[in-house]
Structure 1
Amino acid sequence: MTNTPLHSGLESLGWSSFFADQVKPSEADLAPRRVASVHRGRIEAIDATGPIKLELPDANTADFAVGDWILADPLSDMFVKRLERKTVFQRRPEVGRSRQLVAANIDTLLIVTSCNADFNIERLERYLIMANEAGSKPVIVLTKADTVDDAGQFQVEAQSLQRDLPVIAVNARSADARALLSPWCGVGQTIALVGSSGVGKSTLVNSLTGLESHLQQKTGTIREYDAQGRHTTTARSLHVIPGGGLMIDTPGIRTLFVSDVTDGIETLFSDITELAPLCRFRDCTHAHEPGCAVQAAVKSGTLAADRVERWRSLVSENRDRTPVVSGPRGNKIAHKKKY
């Protein structure tokens, strides 16, 4: 469900010169619209007047992501062209070579976890890598802060994951949540929420959008022993934040693999990658070679050994899961590396 924008003009929906510059003079009569939801056989969009159902030449919607900007015929609502994305958040599923589109044109990715057993460093690192690779600014949101004695310990641990990483602790049901997240929810700004099921994403969506009770997303309970919840969000959707920007909610992701995200890993582990040029050997693995600057930092206590191990594991997974292109020119075949 997409609620009606409170601001007039496409700019309130995230339209900017980045997209306007892609419109050719011959396309000036076409209407820019933003994709609000993607279903198996249809796409719903939004413009300054409200929701619109797009007509597609065929029923294939796999190439569209929530948050995309498209051009359509203003009379027939027929899709004509998808504009180049400014940012795109995507993931590669466990089976198959193609990557799954999650959301597009996101300014800030809110990585939602909770102050309980769901808080998992390894999972947070994977989300941060994907945010870095997408080109979106990551912010970690700690929900259920009101259920623990000291949410600060969770904040400190999360902030240590990446340089200059904002970490906000909130009670998702509180009206204060909107104020705490307002720096990333300005007019025309797009945020997306990702995280496991049961961490309070739907509750946070309801608090930020201020939807009336009959329009609010369903929320579910969690199991106390492992903090796991049911999937209460089943599809990606775009919502307008009253007095602010736009929000894309996503279903909980059970497993997040890293693939094609070398730049994202380097950004997350910049403390390691910046030391690499100081190693004696250019091809240093930072495991056993003499003159290794990374191992020297571990020995001196300025770099945690377990952080280096997580970096090494993620680099290896990314290498093994990233398909390589081979085959005769014009007939290239993508396959995964084997070691």
Structure 2
Amino acid sequence: MARFIASRFPVKLTHAAAQLGEMLREAKLPVISAFGFHRFVWKLYAGPTDQKLYLRSDLPSSSDTSRLRQSLKKAGLIGTDPDYGKSVIRVMTVPDLPADEIVCLADPTCYVSHLSAMQRWGLTDRHPERLILSRPDRPTAIMALQAQMDIALKAGEEAPFPLRIVAHPAEVRQRPVMALETKTVGFSVQIRGSHVRVSTIGQTFLDMVQKPDLCGGMAHIIDIWEEHARSYLQEIVSAVDTAHIAIAKSRAGYILQERLGLTNPTIESWKALGQRGGSRKLDPDKDFAPEFSETWMLSLNV
């Protein structure tokens, strides 16, 4: 296998580099991080002892990882990603993937959210050109990455690279990208058979009442809730109950109870959060309207 790979490229590869190149191809990951590349090097060194790879030591050092990376780069097996630059490694022997897959591979802390998630869940008939992502703020993201690294590392293994937070470019694979950072990152789930992480169905409904402008506007949101909220009531109530913003619970409570006639003890408990004020509007992007919900303390300006 090593001889086969080496023969395809003008630069002669060592047995170890050729085997590593084949491991990357078989993994079918078009982009990986520097830490991810090091994990493949570690797996190479930890492989069967009958492989004639002529390794210099039992465990790879940072210089071993760097040397193998340079060899594969010179041979054309890996390169710089056209959108993320040097932030991630592009595996040239693996076919590329759409933007939503690439962003989740490049940044393990982000997930598809808002109108983009609504489309993924089949809640909207709109086809947003912009891919909307949510991710933790920098301190939270660093802690999340550190936790992931600690889980991945084996006994005696050290990460030879510092933690890096990937900056998403304005466009990935010719699709505009908007990345939102928040201290209160929501819940997400990975789509089966895909690298894409998307906000849970409950979180997606919560995002609608927290940031209507990123979900097609409140009028569109009400249409979606009227069509789908009954099917996902438990998930919606559980997610909305975690909201740190009281107005989100008031908006959700109004739609569920006054428009759809749905209620339960949790929804009832949200009424205690209501308070009068000109800024309390069903649609935060429209002017205050005189029609008012006394129960939910909301201007019904939709």
- Give the TM-score range, shorter chain: under 0.3
User: Which one has the largest radius of gyration?
Assistant: 2
TM-score normalised by length of structure 1: 0.24
Report the structure, 1 or 2, having the larger helix content. Answer: 2
TM-score normalised by length of structure 2: 0.26
Higher RCO (CA-CA < 8 Å; seq separation 6+): 1
